Amino acid sequence: MRIGAIEAGGTKFVCGIGDEEGRILDRISFPTERPEPTLGKVIDYFRDKGVEAIGIGTFGPINIDPASPMYGHVTTTPKPGWTGYDFLGTLKKEFDVPFGWDTDVNAAAYGEAKWGAAKGLDSCAYFTIGTGIGVGVYAEGKLVHGLVHPEGGHIPVKRHPDDTFEGFCPYHKDCLEGVAAGPAIERRWGVKGSELGADHPAWAMEAYYIGQAVATAVLMLSPKKIILGGGVMKQEHLLPMIREEAKRYLNGYVRDERVLAGMDEYVVAPGLGEIAGLYGALALGLAAAGRA
Ligand code: ADP
Ligand code: ZN
């Protein structure tokens, strides 16, 4: 079975072909431009590939309510040309196959649950900490959509006492994303996160914020695994610091060894590495083909 997979990111698109064993047989990547040229490349790529279904995990916010006339559209985004764009409809016109359609983070959570760090578990939360912060939730064997879809990147956080940066979220200023996404690090310290040494105070502050997000996920959702991905998490020393902050915040309240002594296996990096999103899109495609 050949299944198409599209990981639509704010910076780049990755398209690939996979099979039901979770093997990626081919893939390409190109920068995200305005919708027409970008989807033009997607259509060209899949044109002769003979796929039986296509799964899409995309940046958003997007409409994922099948009962809505706006299903398959991007809702609001600062990315030029994409607000209100009929992403799914544009592809459906070209390919007469079943489509899976969900957020990039839900796709990543799904891929991780099927083949990655949460394999065999019926729940996990997947955070991406990159240009923005997003959260995908898989619970009791299903991706969580709810009213629109979770937007856990914009939760309120307690300010770090030494943080004088006002935050960059255009809606909330100092929500989680506003103080802890990659651009917050860059604006606060005047250099990109990738250029800050492991002993720079930026990382303690970052862990303070992400640790709260992890604790919030534990308290709100009680997922069986918490997976932290995205560009900022390339700083490998950050993960142990985040675990410590989450533990400090929870302060023994959740009495389960998996959250206490077992934190190293509970809060982890993506098992599928940087292509968790593409695997997730493949998993969505398989589900659309009835082969989940
Ligand atoms: P996106 O969120 O756009 O899909 P990424 O997940 O790669 O893409 O996140 C990009 C963000 O991660 C940028 O803000 C960048 O500065 C930051 N970033 C990338 N690499 C590193 C690194 N090694 N250390 C710290 N921050 C990084
Ligand atoms: Zn916000």
Query: In the chain, which stretches have pLDDT less than 70?
Result: none
Record the tokens describing residue 242, joined without a space: 């985040």
pLDDT at 145: 95
Q: Are residues 133 and 167 in the same domain?
A: yes
pLDDT at 79: 86
Q: How many structural domains does the chain have? A: 2
In a domain, 162, yes or no: yes
- Whether the CB-CB separation of 238 and 194 falls below 8 Å is answered with no
In a domain, 111, yes or no: no
Q: Which of 103, 232, 235 to mutate to test the pocket of ligand 1 (most atoms within 8 A of CB)?
A: 232
Q: Are residues 183 and 76 in the same domain?
A: no
In a domain, 262, yes or no: yes
Domain that holds residue 237: 117-269
In a domain, 282, yes or no: yes
Q: Are residues 16 and 54 in the same domain?
A: yes
Q: Are residues 126 and 57 in the same domain?
A: no
Q: Are residues 124 and 262 in the same domain?
A: yes
Q: Quote the CA–CA distance of 116 and 166 in Å, as a whole number.
A: 36
Q: Are residues 226 and 132 in the same domain?
A: yes
Q: Are residues 22 and 100 in the same domain?
A: yes
Q: List the residue whose alpha carbon is closest to atom 8 of ligand 1.
A: 130
In a domain, 221, yes or no: yes
Tell which atom from ligand 1 comes closest to the C-alpha of 192.
Answer: 16
Considering every ligand atom, which ligand is closest to the CA of 176?
2
Q: Quote the CA–CA distance of 235 and 198 in Å, as a whole number.
A: 8
Q: What is the Å distance from ligand 2's center to 132 Cα?
A: 9
pLDDT at 280: 97
pLDDT at 134: 96
Residues in a beta bridge with 96 = none
In a domain, 112, yes or no: no
Q: Are residues 102 and 150 in the same domain?
A: no
- Regarding the beta carbon of 182 and ligand 1, being less than 6 Å apart is answered yes
Tell which atom from ligand 1 comes closest to the C-alpha of 229.
Answer: 6
- Regarding the beta carbon of 230 and ligand 1, being less than 6 Å apart is answered yes
Q: Are residues 260 and 279 in the same domain?
A: no
Q: Are residues 153 and 228 in the same domain?
A: yes
Q: Are residues 122 and 234 in the same domain?
A: yes
CATH code: domain of residue 240: 3.30.420.40
Q: List the residue whose alpha carbon is closest to atom 10 of ligand 1.
A: 130
In a domain, 67, yes or no: yes
- Whether the CB-CB separation of 143 and 137 falls below 8 Å is answered with yes
Helix (H) / strand (E) containing 129? strand 124-129
Q: Are residues 159 and 54 in the same domain?
A: no
SS (H, E, C) 1-50: CCEEEEEECCCEEEEEEECCCCCEEEEEEEECCCHHHHHHHHHHHHCCCC
